[in-house]
A = this chain, B = another copy of it.
Amino acid sequence: MSEAVVRPMTVADWPAVFAFWHEIVEAGETYAFPLGLTSDEALGWWAESPPGATVVLEEDGEVLGSAKMGPNRPGRGSHVGTASFMVAPAARGRGVGRRLGEHVVAWHRDQGYAAIQFNAVVETNAAAVRLWQSLGFTIIGTVPEAFDSRTHGRVGLHVMHLPLT
């Protein structure tokens, strides 16, 4: 990953991001986004405006992953952030998720958030659960049968948490 850079997503990145975003959502194993979205509709779910942000990881001119981040709740909950991640299936196992995760943790620290909360980590997505645990996140609780996995049926969604202060 030595030549990889994490930078803000631009409109020009979106076709590449949407290609794997769509593939991952439709595969039905990791994210409860709406199904069957057009590119424009999906952009509305992925592009974050300030105070949030959406980034891509680019290596050798190719976009291999993306993450979005920002406050988990408005008002009196806005001191806790959240984030979502997508890694191109062809780029799995190369540290893209870890690099994006480290970026997201650093971003929240820089912005002064008190903690990061993931609301819905699919329990059968073992690679993601392990990755977040290796970055210090713990499982606060698991909502049983809350995600309809294409291959596993109804599985739990972990609420995961990392204090930053």
Q: B-contacting residues of A (Cβ < 8 Å)?
A: 25, 28, 31-35, 72-80, 114-115, 117, 119-120, 139-150, 154, 157, 159, 161, 163
Which B residues are CB-close (under 8 A) to A154? 79, 114
Which B residues are CB-close (under 8 A) to A114? 145, 154
User: Is the beta-carbon distance between B141 and A141 smaller than 8 angstroms?
Assistant: yes
If the complex has contacts A143-B140, A154-B114, A159-B141, are A148 and B33 also in contact, measured as CB distance less than 8 A?
Answer: no
User: Is the beta-carbon distance between A115 and B145 smaller than 8 angstroms?
Assistant: yes
Count of identical protomers in the assembly: 2
Q: Which of A76, A141, A157 has the most CB of B within 10 A?
A: A76
User: Is the beta-carbon distance between B146 and A32 smaller than 8 angstroms?
Assistant: no
If the complex has contacts A154-B114, A159-B159, are A73 and B144 also in contact, measured as CB distance less than 8 A?
Answer: no
Which B residues are CB-close (under 8 A) to A146? 72-73, 77, 80, 115, 117
If the complex has contacts A143-B159, A143-B161, A144-B163, are A32 and B115 also in contact, measured as CB distance less than 8 A?
Answer: no
User: Is the beta-carbon distance between B144 and A161 smaller than 8 angstroms?
Assistant: yes
User: Is the beta-carbon distance between A28 and B76 smaller than 8 angstroms?
Assistant: yes
